[in-house]
Amino acid sequence: MKSELFSNAIKNRNKIKFLYSSNEIILDPYFISYEKNGKKVLYGRTHNSNEIKKFAYSRISNIKILNNVKFTPLIPILPVYIYRNLGLN
């Protein structure tokens, strides 16, 4: 059930809100993955932050998809990388 909610939110670029342990989190969900130990995790950018964080599925509860709030993924592009690969240095 969690995977379906998160997959739909990722596909439709909807922000989500959930409880993580006892903290309320608002997140731009980016992708679902597995850790080396086989535990499922969710990666995303927290509200008002540029940092991508990892959240363990087992600690997520009370999931709400914020249908009226869309997001655009933050894709950091380093000017040094651009200059080097385009031969502009």
CATH number at residue 28: 2.30.30
Q: Report residue 75: phi and psi, to 5°.
A: -120, 100
State the pLDDT at residue 68: 84
Below-50 pLDDT ranges, the chain: 78, 82, 88-89
State the pLDDT at residue 27: 92
State the pLDDT at residue 89: 47
Total domains present in the chain: 1
Pairing type for strands 60-70 and 14-20 reads antiparallel
State the pLDDT at residue 88: 47
Sign of CA dihedral 72, 73, 74, 77: negative
State the pLDDT at residue 69: 76
Q: Find the domain containing 37 and state its range.
A: 2-86
pTM of the model: 0.75
